[in-house]
Amino acid sequence: MPRRSKQEDLEFLRKKLIGLLTGFEAELKRSDLREKVRALVPAFHTLRDLGSSLIPSAVAASGRDRVLAYLRKYALTVVRGDELMVVSGIGDWPRRVRELRKEFGWSIITGTTAKEMDEEGDFPLKEIEASKLGPDDYILLSREPDRDAAYRWRIANDIRKKKTGVREKILEFMRLNVGTRITGEELRYIANDKTEWARRVRELRTELGWPVVTKSTGRPDLPVGVYLLETDRQSPPLR
C-alpha cells in the first residue's frame, strides 16, 4: 500500500529535508545505484509531506480535498498539474481530479479542452492564452459544483460507446439535457477525446440550426466553458 503523506510543522519538515539532502552527499560517492536510490526515499517522502502540509488539515484533510481547495483558491486561473501533485501529497492526484469532475460535479477542464474551445471562439477568457495550454494544465471554471453532473457523466459514458459519429453523439447528449449547462469537458469525453468535438458543436449551431449557445455566442450570462441547448427544436439548416 502506498505511503500516505503526513502533515507536520512546515519549518520542521523544511529542516528535515535539508538534513536529508545534505547527508546524501556521502551517498553520491558510492558506486551502488540501489543504495543511492534507497537513500533518497526518506527525502522524497519528506518533500511530499512538506507539500501536503502547505494546506492545513483543518481546511482539507485528504489529497482530493487539497486539490479542490487549491483549485478553488485559483479558480479561472491556469493551474499546472505539478502544482496539484505538490499540494495533494499523493501520487494518484490525476484520478482525484477526475473524481472531482465526474462524481462531485466540479467544472474542471484541461488545457487541451480550453485550447480546442478557443479555436472555435467559445473560450472568452482573454487573459488566458489558451493556444499555449496543454493536457497538464487545469482550470476550475466555477467555485460551486454542479450537483447533477454525476448523472450526466453516466449518460455521457453510455453515448460515448455508440458507433455513431461525433456530431450525432454530441447532439444526442444535448437533446437529453435541454436547458442544462454542459461543460466542454463532457462533450470532449463523449467524442472519445477527438479534437474535432468543438468544431462539431459549432456546426450544430451555425450549419444545422440547433440553438446551442455559449457565453460568447448569445448568452453572456453563462459561465465560461459551458454549452447549452436552449430548446429541442431545430431551425431550418443554413445553405
Per-residue pLDDT tens over the stretch 171-226: 999 999 999 999 999 999 999 999 999 999 999 999 999 999 999 888 999 999 99
Beta strands across the sheet bearing 108-110: 79-80, 137-140, 108-110
Count the helix, strand and coil residues of the chain and give each as a percent rounded to the nearest 5: 50, 5, 45
Instruction: Look at residue 132 and tell me whether its pLDDT is greater than 80.
Output: yes
Q: How far apart are CA 105 and CA 153, in angstroms?
A: 9
pLDDT of residue 128: 94
Segment (H or E) for 171:
helix 166-175
Grid cell, residue 70, equals 487549491
The answer as to whether 238 is a domain residue is: no
Task: Answer yes or no: do 84 and 28 share one domain.
Answer: no
166 shares a domain with 117: no
- Predicted pLDDT at 238: 56
Q: At 182, which helix (H) or strand (E)? A: strand 182-183
Assigned domain for 92 exists: yes
More confident residue, 150 or 83: 83
Residue 154, judged by CB atoms within 10 A of its CB (0-12, 13-18, 19+), counts as exposed
Considering the domain boundaries, does residue 134 fall inside one? yes
55 inside domain: no
Residue 92 near residue 64, CB atoms below 8 Å: no
List pLDDT tens digits, range 221-235.
999 999 999 999 988
The rounded distance, in Å, linking the Cα atoms of 98 and 101 is: 5
In a domain, 175, yes or no: yes
Q: Average pLDDT, whole number, for the chain?
A: 93
Query: 225 with 154, same domain?
Result: yes
3-state secondary structure 67-85: HHHHHHHCCCCCEEHHHHH
Number of domains observed in the structure of the chain = 3
Range of the domain at 158: 149-229
Of 140, 169, 193, which residue is a domain's last? 140
